[in-house]
Amino acid sequence: MREIYDLIFSLPPKQFTIIAFLLGILLVDDLNAAEQNALGGFFELVGQVLITNAAQSQLIQNIVTNNQNNRIIHDLEIIKNMLNID
């Protein structure tokens, strides 16, 4: 399964988009309107879960990075004060 992920995530953006478009077009012919609506809603929900999870992960990473940067700045200020550097 990891190989499939690696293949998908290594695609250039335009190819990635074209493949998604083509899959959608291919599914249209095989599904009636109710099935299209149900499957479309399903994929939207999957997408929203991924987006929500990624956003929260990114926020937490930003907080950690900012805390690390603030700690480094604080430590540098202490060193500057110890060396009497302005």
pLDDT value at residue 45: 97
> In this structure, are residues 15 and 23 in contact, taking their beta carbons and an 8 Å threshold?
no
DSSP 12-31: -HHHHHHHHHHHHHHHHHHS
Do 3 and 40 lie in one domain? The reply is: no
- Domain count within the chain: 2
- Residue 64's domain comprises 32-86
For the chain, the average pLDDT equals 93
**Mean of pLDDT values over 48-57:** 96
Do 36 and 25 lie in one domain? The reply is: no
Whether 86 shows a pLDDT value over 80: the answer reads: no
Do 39 and 79 lie in one domain? The reply is: yes
Contacts of 39 (CB under 8 A, 6+ apart): 27, 31
Query: Could you give the C-alpha distances from 39 to 4, 8, 14, 66, in angstroms and in order?
Result: 22, 21, 24, 40
Q: What percent of the chain has pLDDT over 90?
A: 77
Whether 62 shows a pLDDT value over 90: the answer reads: yes
Do 20 and 46 lie in one domain? The reply is: no
Do 40 and 67 lie in one domain? The reply is: yes
- Claim: this prediction has a pTM higher than 0.85: no
